[in-house]
Structure formats: C-alpha cells, structure tokens
Amino acid sequence: MNGYVDFHSRVLPNADVENMEEELDRCVDILKILHKAKIKTVVATPYFNSVDSNVPKFLAEREEAMAKLNEKIKGMSLPRIIPGAEVLFTTSLLDIDTTKLCVGNTNYIMLSLPYQEYSDMVIETLQKLIISKNLCPIIAHIEKYYPEFYTMEQLEKISQLGVIMQLSCDAMINRTTRKAALELLSKNVVQIIGSNDITKQNVHRTALETAMDVLNKDVSSYAAIDVLQKDLRDIHIADFKAGANEAISPSPQYADAIRIMRYHLPLGKYKQIKNNAGMIISNANIKDIMC
C-alpha cells in the first residue's frame, strides 16, 4: 500500500458551529495538508463519552458529519476517511457495544484516560476489555498523565497488559515536558510517537505543525500512531501553506527534537522506535480498514 495512515484526526466538521460551510472548508484544509504528506487514509476520531452520550446517537452524528464532508470533497484527490473515535475510558464501556467505536473493521480502540490518579480499576477494566471484548486498547497522549496522575511503575504495569501507548511529538519538542517524554521512551512504556491532531491557523504556526517538521524529517518515519508512515524523506514541510501564500519553514526546535532522539536515548531503544513504524497496523489490518 503506497501511502500512510493518520490514525487520530479531528477532521470531521463540528455540528455546533454557526457557519457549517466555513467549518467544512477548515476540514478540507486539514485533508489537503494530509494529502501533501502522502497520507492516503485518515481515521476520524471524534470524542465519545459514554456518560454524556450513547453509541447510537454518537454514530448517527458521526455518520452525518462524514456524509457532509464526503459530499464537500467529492471529486477531490484527498485522503479517504475511515470512522473511529477517541473514547473516554470508563467502566461503562464493558456494558456497551464498542464495535463501531473501533477503527474501521479492526479491534483497535483509542482510549482517553480521565485526568485522575491511578487506581486498580484501570487495570481491571483494561483486562476485561482485552479478554471479554477482544479489544486492543491504545492509550492516547500518555504524556498528559505522567507524572501528574500516574507514576512510571503504574504505567509500566498497564503496558505489561499489552496496551499500546502513544506519546505526542509535541511533548518531546516542548522543553518543559521533554524530560518526562524521554523517561517514558527510555523505560519502554511508550511504543509509538506521533502528532495528535493536525490543525491549521490562518497566520500563526501551531505546535502540531511544528511537530510535523519532526515527523516529516525523521521521527515519524520511526514510529507514529497518529500518522503511521514508512518513509517521508521526499516530503518537505515548506510545501505546507499558512494562510494564502505564506510558506511554512522548518521550526528551530527541529534540531532539538532530532538531538533528543539520536543522542539522549539508548541506541537500542532508538533503533526499536525506528523500526516500530508498522507495528500497530499491519498490512493485513490496513486491508481490513480499507474494506
């Protein structure tokens, strides 16, 4: 399969906006950015909270949003959109049908942990999701929970269940979170690095566009869950546009991010991350998604 998968994107239009046409244009802009990066498949991951909503209502809203966007991009050469969700982790997930919350036709489900201190309930619920519901949990943006809510030992305990954990590239670029990000990488807690949402502003460069520098130059070719890639050597971040005609140049933080990966991680771990690009979605699973 030629092309890459963006595994975590807020690409669907928000139903609550006043001007839906402008919202759809925003979504198209994001898809154009992804297309420039040779991404062929985008997993739309709107947020789902089983406490405030229910699965049928969520699925109906997601289907309506996808229909509007697909109509807008009809005839355009843009990535294909696959339904998914970012699901708030609660024990109520054990009592609902989570099939349609997974990524396409796979059993991978992206979970967002609550911003609370660790409890044994987390382990117990994850075990039940894996065993009784045959799910493959993916914990999104794990850096948001460490060290404020979870200790390293607690994250290691979760990881030992076979749960996949994703670290945001922004956490490595940001100097205030860099130390914690390196700890997570070096302790083998995190298997994947990547950007979360690709967003775009009219004038100013966003933090995630900065992260795309790293993804396109080096890091994401090592491992990414939100943008699964095998090789982006031929992509140039300067091709992306901010506003009408303003080219985006590589961030000065790019060199720091590369230095972190190459010189601050043990060589073995560095190589492991480098070889993780295809570990989440195998070719077989990509075919399942594309069905």
Best CA proximity match to 11, nearest among 227, 245, 194:
227
Helix axes 152-159, 120-131, angle to 10 degrees: 10
96: how many CB neighbours lie within 10 A of its CB?
14
Is this structure's pTM higher than 0.85?
A: no
pLDDT of residue 215: 43
C-alpha–C-alpha distance, residues 181 and 174, integer Å: 9
Q: Which residues contact 289 (CB under 8 A, 6 or more apart)?
A: 5, 41, 43, 82, 103, 104, 105, 106, 281
pLDDT of residue 33: 77
C-alpha–C-alpha distance, residues 87 and 111, integer Å: 5
Q: Which two tokens stand for residue 134?
A: 């045959």
**Domain containing residue 161: CATH number:** 3.20.20.140
Residue span of the structural domain in which 174 resides: 4-290
Range 243-272 burial, b when 16+ CB lie within 10 A, else e = eeeeebebbebbebbeebbeeebeeeebeb
pLDDT of residue 267: 66
Phi, psi of 61 (to 5 degrees): -65, -40
pLDDT (tens, 9 = 90+) of the chain, 291 residues, equals: 445 666 777 889 998 888 999 999 999 988 887 787 667 778 888 999 998 899 999 999 999 999 999 999 999 999 889 899 999 999 999 999 999 999 888 898 999 999 999 999 999 999 999 999 999 998 988 999 999 999 999 999 999 999 988 777 678 777 788 889 888 888 888 876 655 555 544 434 444 554 444 444 433 333 333 433 332 233 233 333 333 333 333 333 333 444 565 656 666 665 655 444 333 333 334 344 333
Q: Which two tokens stand for residue 14?
A: 């928000």
C-alpha–C-alpha distance, residues 18 and 24, integer Å: 12
Q: Which two tokens stand for residue 33?
A: 């950015």
pLDDT of residue 188: 82
How many domains would you assign to the chain? 1
pLDDT of residue 177: 87
Best CA proximity match to 191, nearest among 151, 161, 236:
161
C-alpha–C-alpha distance, residues 98 and 107, integer Å: 9
Best CA proximity match to 181, nearest among 280, 112, 273:
273
The three-state secondary structure class of 193 is strand
Separation in Å, CA 256 to CA 109, 178, 263: 32, 10, 10
